[in-house]
Structure 1
Amino acid sequence: MNKVLIIEDEESIRKFVKLVLSKQGFTVIQAGTGEDGLEKVNIENPNIILLDIMLPGIDGFKVCEIVRKDYPDIGIIMLTARGQDIDKIKGLEYGADDYMVKPFNPLELSARINSLLRRINSHDNNASDILESGPFKIDMNCKIAFKNTITVNLTPKEFLLMKIFMQNPNKALSRNKLLDLVWGYNFVGDPKIVDVNVRRLRNKLEETPSSPNYIETVWGMGYRWKEI
């Protein structure tokens, strides 16, 4: 079932969109701020994002920029105010696939989403929700990780951390980047939580955690998933 994430600070609009799209068979996820929206993207892995521009905290343009960089396959439809042509242009420049002017017709909204889904699917008809790297495989729908076909018991944060590593093979990821992607942009705790969870993940994935083959330390920066 296709997932649609609506990032919109007006609750009435979110409820309206959820009602319309749920009747069309979509799973609808809601977020009221840019920060919450980015966290939901990481956790829920939506197919389509309906993204308002004027958001408290991180605005829609910044959210669009971050999503497009980290999740290039997610479709993004910007929601703009009537007559704000500059917002439409700017949104497309930041990587949005389409835009809709509020207030919008619910039938047109459904049509735009379905059109974008067809376009995305036509790019890669073999797209899979399974990620594989060396002896590891994760099922993003079932949220299950395997090593050599044996299930690895991971916490939700460990699973998300592993998913991000496998989606970015051989790429150095800073601690701050991992903190933002896994714990959210509004996380206010101790950033050392990244190192703690990496250590736990190594204990579950590596043959010799003290001398890891897969999750390498990039000294002074963060970590890198070494694809073998």
Structure 2
Amino acid sequence: MELLLVEDDERVRRFVRRGLEAEGYVVAAARDGIDGLQRAQAESYDVMILDVMLPGLNGREVCRQLRQSGVPTPILMLTALDHTEDKVECLRGGADDYLTKPFDFEELLARLEALARRGRGYTCGAPAVLELGNVRIDRQSMQVFLDQEPIDLTAKEYQLLDLLLSSPGRVFSRTHILNKVWGYDSDPLTNVVDVYIRRLRSKMRWDRDTGWIRTIRSYGYRLDPAMDLPEPALKRIG
């Protein structure tokens, strides 16, 4: 899926672009409204992320001109303004949806998918207990057990493990992890994810070379347990 991202904040632009590319998007990026307008008029995109506050030409004006020129690309507006009138103005100006900063990266993905469909998280009822092999998470008590032995994890370590264990085999980008566990919606310029992965491996006694948390170079991490786990490998107890 091809996407145009128009965002002048370099850290936000880099963070979102890296995360979307890790999810399989082909991302073109513009730093100001004029460049964004020209790109959107010259090329065809499946969806567009457009910041409201842009140099050169603000996002609302970019959106208005695109609609006047007949460009049908679905547009998701990003705004730091949380007032109802600002959101209404975006929608009446031709935007298909809006998202207020700071935003949840998973919500951004869901909204983009919905817009893309229109243009062409833990879900409700999430299990109270996750069990994979010899690892068990009780979400109600926030306790983790390894071979029925309780493991002492910090809050962030617990959240990281819960995220990985909820979707074994899925590759989570560092961007996605930073957003879901730490709540960042821009690049914090730290290696905090890698540090916590090392701590989690150590506490869970997982050998980096024999399975469980796999490093996916240049992307992120995947929970990849040994192949000889009893079936069913993942039990969801609600």
Greater RCO (Cα-Cα under 8 Å, separation 6 or more): 2
The answer for the alignment partner of 2:57 in structure 1 is 58
- Whether the 8 Å CA contact 2:41–2:71 is kept in 1: the answer is no
The answer for the alignment partner of 1:198 in structure 2 is none
Q: Which runs of 5+ in 1 are unaligned?
A: 122-228
The answer for the alignment partner of 1:94 in structure 2 is 93
> Are 2:33 and 1:34 equivalent residues in the alignment?
yes
Secondary structure at 2:42 match in 1 = helix
Whole-Å separation in 2 of the counterparts to 1:61 and 1:82: 13
Give CA deviations for 1:134-157 in whole Å, capped at 9, x if unaligned: xxxxxxxxxxxxxxxxxxxxxxxx
Give CA deviations for 1:160-206 in whole Å, capped at 9, x if unaligned: xxxxxxxxxxxxxxxxxxxxxxxxxxxxxxxxxxxxxxxxxxxxxxx
Secondary structure at 2:90 match in 1 = helix
Whole-Å separation in 2 of the counterparts to 1:71 and 1:21: 27
Matches within 5 A, 1:69-218: 69-121=68-120
Question: Measured at CA, do residues 109 and 62 of structure 1 come closer, stay the same or move farther in structure 2, by a change above 3 Å?
Answer: same
Whole-Å separation in 2 of the counterparts to 1:88 and 1:109: 16
Secondary structure at 1:95 match in 2 = coil
- Whether the 8 Å CA contact 2:60–2:90 is kept in 1: the answer is yes
Give CA deviations for 1:35-75 in whole Å, capped at 9, x if unaligned: 01012113332221111111112111110011122244200
Instruction: Work out the percentage of aligned pairs sharing the same amino acid.
Output: 41
The answer for the alignment partner of 2:11 in structure 1 is 12
Whole-Å separation in 1 of the counterparts to 2:70 and 2:45: 10
The residue type equivalent to 1:63 in the other structure is V
The answer for the alignment partner of 1:141 in structure 2 is none
Secondary structure at 2:3 match in 1 = strand
- Whether the 8 Å CA contact 2:46–2:119 is kept in 1: the answer is no
The normalised TM-score by structure 1 is 0.50
The residue type equivalent to 1:116 in the other structure is L
Whole-Å separation in 1 of the counterparts to 2:99 and 2:93: 15
Whole-Å separation in 2 of the counterparts to 1:6 and 1:19: 11
CA displacement at 1:82 relative to structure 2: 4.5
Secondary structure at 1:104 match in 2 = coil
The normalised TM-score by structure 2 is 0.48
The residue type equivalent to 1:112 in the other structure is R
Give CA deviations for 1:199-221 in whole Å, capped at 9, x if unaligned: xxxxxxxxxxxxxxxxxxxxxxx
Whole-Å separation in 1 of the counterparts to 2:95 and 2:81: 17
CA displacement at 1:93 relative to structure 2: 0.6
The answer for the alignment partner of 1:213 in structure 2 is none
Higher helix share: 1
- Structure ID, larger Rg: 2
The residue type equivalent to 1:48 in the other structure is V
The answer for the alignment partner of 1:44 in structure 2 is 43
Whole-Å separation in 2 of the counterparts to 1:109 and 1:34: 21
Give the length in aligned residue pairs.
120
The residue type equivalent to 1:80 in the other structure is T
Whole-Å separation in 2 of the counterparts to 1:6 and 1:51: 6
